[in-house]
Structure 1
């Protein structure tokens, strides 16, 4: 494990004692912590593939400070290999640990583990109601239907390969299928694929705007070397309302789409960061230029509208997080864990 500094950070109801460790260090005894809704944001640090150094951090709004390595500090064991994503449902967090074939379930009040679910190579979890969720998977050629009470898969929805992001619009869920031309449409009542939308190759990131229109980011076709496009789609008719073709093949390390809290504008991470109204005639100039940074995770604070962006740097060393106001000015930056790929507001 990479060595981290340690310090004490005072939170409203507790102190975090953060200790560093090497492979040769003795196991660190668990510590206690307390988190309150509206007081901060959890950060998933993916880690380096195969190194088993994924971790969860927390940025405290009142203290303006970041604490890292919390899962291991609180639970006395590592989180695992590749923290892909995290979903917050009520008072529980579902941490998708992709290369460990696990979804770790934690109590959000103290980040203590309350259970695990196993999957071949999970990517994202989307709650459908209080009892049911869907889980996409890299290698299973299926989407898993999960019984949240039993904490296990109850059935599967067959697919043709790697399924990625999901968004819900009404009673339907739209799912991107990587390295194909398809976005699947799932009926949440029957848990069946009922339709599909054909686009350019490699749909990945998805978003929904204030008019309940679907946005899809399609990447580069490396067979034909054709640049990708950003699409706005009517989810009811499945028709493309607007296509924004990319000028070149360079779309950054991992595309992200997020909306403003009002849903009237879209943030796009495609190397540089773009900000565009949902009725834009064309892709805009960069809102924030990468300037050599490896922009990775991105999320919008639903309360302030501030944009949190992770810089993976080289996917080996600890990354950096930048917080931007809607006008593009920098609020603050802080050092996170290795490959910060997501921000989950509690």
Structure 2
């Protein structure tokens, strides 16, 4: 349970923001909320997903509820900032909540019938966002940012997950969802259509770009042990100029994380990923590392672009462990998050 001290600071901070403008001021001049946002899925079927917010003054594990006076939804999958708006995907609630980033007040709820299984949001063009959707046959739904209206539907593979934009192309990882798939769909965002399909490994759930704009894809594979741990995971490196796989790595270890945020990249040229431990490798390494970066396996992992620290999501203890990128020593932690923290978003 969060402390009264934390709640007091959250109320003070939000009140100060709200007091700095009025309904008569259509163009507020104060800045957006600055800090670390923690996306917590919540437990399936319990409507306890949340977005936490942390900075030097505020520690709030359910910012949406504190500001808007209602729960966010069931299985909070993603949170993306697009200019002055934040888009929050509540997967099992089949909706996307839209908030103002200056104060986290809800301004709209996207709950079109087409949003049957929303997963991730990504800005495509200046005026559009893409939402990956579908537990079987997948689509990328196109929304106008200004009107928040559904304007298009692009067919992709089964169970689309994370998306990465590089130049005029959007890459969509097709995990298979409740079916099977082993592809990446490449969308030309200027034309709004798939121009290529890249074959990778089965159940590709995580995809990130490195500093050279190569894609790194984590495929969990198809084989599982009696405890539902994947035993044949792979990592693929994709050149986004040629849209060809340039390197594949057979991890050769059992994946002991049930999360879907299994890999991340740093601005100084490293990849961090999960298997039976957490590993770190250079983006140009020909072989996977033998020694683990840390023996612990987490639920999700991200890099703070401002200082290079590694943020590891601990879904067992409901906290985010902040670690030194070199030696994996613990610097600090964001404690008492909501249930199942899966990722973080940094806003500076």
Range of TM-score over shorter length: 0.7 to 0.9
Q: Deviations over 1:96-130 (max 9, x none)?
A: 11111111111122111111112211100010122
1:15 aligned to which of 4, 9, 16 = 9
Cα 1:38–1:115 change in 2 (3 A) is closer
- Structure 2, unaligned runs of 5 or more: 18-29
Q: Distance in 2 between matches of 1:276 and 1:36?
A: 37
Q: Distance in 2 between matches of 1:271 and 1:43?
A: 24
Q: CA deviation at 1:271?
A: 5.2
- Give matches, 1:210-289, under 5 Å: 210-222=211-223, 227-254=232-259, 255-262=261-268, 264-270=269-275, 272-284=277-289, 285-289=291-295
Q: Do the aligned residues in 2 keep the contact of 1:57 with 1:68 (CA within 8 Å)?
A: yes
2:120 aligned to which of 113, 117, 124 = 124
Q: CA deviation at 1:150?
A: 1.3
- Give matches, 1:1-346, under 5 Å: 4-9=1-6, 15-17=9-11, 32=15, 34=17, 39-60=34-55, 62-63=56-57, 66-118=59-111, 119-139=115-135, 141-179=138-176, 180-222=181-223, 227-254=232-259, 255-262=261-268, 264-270=269-275, 272-284=277-289, 285-290=291-296, 295-313=298-316, 319-327=318-326, 328-333=328-333, 334-346=335-347
Q: Do the aligned residues in 1 keep the contact of 2:231 with 2:255 (CA within 8 Å)?
A: no
**Cα RMSD after superposing both structures:** 2.3
Q: CA deviation at 1:208?
A: 1.2
Q: Deviations over 1:171-211 (max 9, x none)?
A: 11111111311111111111111111112212221111122
TM-score calculated relative to the size of structure 1: 0.85
Q: How many matched pairs?
A: 318
Cα 1:108–1:33 change in 2 (3 A) is farther
Stretch of structure 1 that moved more, 184-193 or 252-261? 252-261
Aligned to 1:73, the other structure's residue is in SS state helix
Q: CA deviation at 1:269?
A: 3.2
Q: CA deviation at 1:231?
A: 1.0
Q: CA deviation at 1:17?
A: 4.3
TM-score calculated relative to the size of structure 2: 0.85
Cα 1:105–1:38 change in 2 (3 A) is closer
Q: Distance in 1 between matches of 2:47 and 2:210?
A: 36
